[in-house]
Amino acid sequence: MKRQVIFFLCYIILQVKIDTIAARAIDADEIPDPLTEEEIECIKELGLDEEHILEIDAKEITPEDDDQYNRFAECFCRKMKLQYDNGSMDYDALREYAQELTTEALKDRDDEVILMVRQVVNEAVAYCQDNPAEGTSHGQIAVRTQNCIVQKLYEAKGGAIDKIPLTEEEQQCIDDLGLNKEHILLEIDDEDGAPEDDDQYNRFTECYWKKMELQYDNGKIDYDALRRFTQQAATEDLKDGDEEVVLMVKQLVRRAVNYCRDNPAEGNSHGQIAVKTQNCIVQTLSEITKDQKYHYLV
Ligand SMILES: *[C@@H]1O[C@H](CO)[C@@H](O)[C@H](O)[C@H]1NC(C)=O
């Protein structure tokens, strides 16, 4: 039942809460989600179409009128003792189950951080307990309750994202272009680079790069400015006094920017050129730092 979605939300809430600079993009599809024993049993016992169930389960908010999924949900909740025989949800059990998923999603994280996310999950369950779902079948009640919790987690995620401070220029670009802050933040700082065909993100990047004078009005990149800007950004967080490390990082950035200047990105818009150039630098830096001797820098 929605383990993947809940995992995904826990990750995102975690990321935006601990990382006030940028939320990382996490793709729910990358989170492994094997069926649990109970889920497999329910599919078999009820003779359901496994693919159909998986497809619906992966949706963020589930349709509430799908007969197969409703029966699946009822069966699962009965096996997990999340729902009473009279159709009412057992919210204490539900809270415990959601907490288990949270702990599993965030294993290896600091206790403090896990507590923070658990608190959010508790609040979501409490809200749904105070506003209990009604339905024409036990299955529909279970599905609506699940949707209620997921919806509340989405709201918590949005609230956390709203609190992420942006630089003045970033905020201006989002306001001037009427973009969605959450969408932009989730694209920024993806380890594998940003998507290159996302219209909003391309427009945002063009605006920001031009404001920061990294890109000329004609779309060409100012690689000297880009090098200085990236060096500044890359060394900002390094402790004072570590001159040698600062110099080495600056040197790495210079190599990456030079590489991208010699292999300039092409694109169908100024924004796409900027995004591809940014990805080039991120990817080149990541390649270079894979060398053993630079390993401690990342
Ligand atoms: C359903 O059963 C539970 C447990 O016996 C009980 O607490 C709850 O009030 C019942 N709900 C309704 C609507 O009767």
> How many Cβ atoms are within 10 Å of 64's Cβ, its own excluded?
18
Tokens, residue 274? 């900027």
Centroid of ligand 1 to alpha carbon of 101 (angstroms): 25
Cα within 13 Å of Cα(285), Cβ side? 23
Which stretch of DSSP H or E encloses residue 209? helix 199-211
Q: What is the pLDDT of residues 29-42, one digit of tens each?
A: 555 567 889 999 99
Q: Whose CA is nearest to atom 13 of ligand 1?
A: 88
Query: Residues of 134-166 as b/e, b for ≥16 C-beta within 10 angstroms?
Result: ebeebbbbbbbbbbbbbebbbebbeebbeebeb
Residue with tokens 């940003």: 194
Q: What is the pLDDT of residues 132-182, one digit of tens each?
A: 999 999 999 999 999 999 999 888 887 777 777 788 999 999 999 999 888
Helices (H) and strands (E) in the chain, counts: 13, 0
Q: Say yes or no: domain 3-161 is CATH 1.10.1200.10.
A: no
Domain with CATH 1.10.238.20 in the chain: 3-161, 168-297
Determine whether domain 168-297 maps to CATH 1.10.238.20. yes
Packing angle, helices 67-79 and 50-57, rounded to 10: 80
- Ligand 1 lined by 88 (C-beta under 6 Å): yes
The per-residue pLDDT for 88 is 96
pTM for this model (two decimals): 0.66
Pick the residue whose CA is nearest to atom 5 on ligand 1. Answer: 84
In sequence order, the β-bridge partners of residue 83 are 89
Burial grade of 79 (CB within 10 A; 0-12, 13-18, 19 or more): middle
Pocket test residue of 77, 82, 84 for ligand 1, highest count of atoms within 8 A of CB: 84
The torsion angles phi and psi of 156, rounded to 5 degrees, stand at -65, -40
pLDDT band at 14, cuts 50/70/90? low
Which residues are CB-contacts of 280 (< 8 A; sequence separation ≥ 6)? Answer: 256, 259, 260, 263, 265
